[in-house]
Amino acid sequence: MREGRILVAGATGRVGSAAVRHLLEAGLEVRALVRGAAGKGEPLRGEPLRGEPLRGEPLRALGAEVRLGDVMRPETLAPALEGCAGVFSALSSSTNREAEAVEYRGNVNLLSAARKAGARRFVYSSALLADHPLARRVGTFREKARFEEVLLGAGDVSATVLRPAMFMETLLMALGGPLAFVPGRQRLPVRWISADDAARAAARAFERDITGRHELAGPETATFDEAYRLLSRARGGG
């Protein structure tokens, strides 16, 4: 798909915002779906109040069109999808309850609206091991796996499911000052990928019409401890 506008949902997140940039660099038109004013995480309520920055303002500065909308409010999706040929969903959630609402129902709403709008290309950012038996206890993973099946079963949509390995950004999230807090022994191998490289793959999926389900992993296998040693070395910590 080398022409046509792409709607990016989850456009203010790490992967979504990087995907906006890579899609624009690839020469595609991009519309970013954002929920409202910046900084408070509040739901869509129309245009931001005077003086409040729009969440997607940095994306507009890159050259993306920014539209207000919320995947949990299907009535806002039809206008957002008007004229779009494809969708990239990088929605994310942080709790079990939110996962069912956003990862599953939100993405189903988005897919349904895309089909009605005639957007037949859908690229979805899922997660490695989303369908692992132990992942059923993790709402985010379980609901991602559920939506994967819905998407890949949609016969009238050209679908891509991306399953990124561990984001390198996770290393920074677990840092508390000079110490890293990593629950559990974590002695098994982990593959790492930067959010930017995952986003680059999403843009390539559109550019090269890559469909199906794909794992995304960078060049290194390292346990959490080994990864922190590499991070420390890169920062001059020896």
Binding site for another protein (CB under 8 A): 94-99, 128-129, 132, 134-135, 137-141, 163, 165-166, 168, 171-172, 179-186, 188-194, 196-197, 200-201, 204-205, 208, 210, 214-222, 224-225, 227-228, 230-231, 233-235
| Pick 96 or 118: Cβ nearer another protein | 96
- In whole angstroms, how close is the CB of 33 to another protein at the nearest point? 23
**Tokens, residue 1:** 């798909």
The Cα–Cα gap between 82 and 89 comes to 16
**What SS3 class is residue 198?**
helix
- In whole angstroms, how close is the CB of 126 to another protein at the nearest point? 12
**What SS3 class is residue 93?**
coil
- In whole angstroms, how close is the CB of 172 to another protein at the nearest point? 7
| Pick 153 or 212: Cβ nearer another protein | 212
| Pick 49 or 179: Cβ nearer another protein | 179
- In whole angstroms, how close is the CB of 125 to another protein at the nearest point? 13
- In whole angstroms, how close is the CB of 78 to another protein at the nearest point? 31
Count of Cβ atoms closer than 10 Å to residue 94 Cβ = 9
Is 175 buried (19+), middle (13-18) or exposed (0-12) by CB count in 10 A? Answer: middle
Residue 189 has, within 13 A of its CA and on its CB side, a CA count of 5
| Pick 153 or 184: Cβ nearer another protein | 184
Burial 202-213 (b: 16+ CB within 10 A, else e): bbbbbeeeebee
| Pick 50 or 185: Cβ nearer another protein | 185
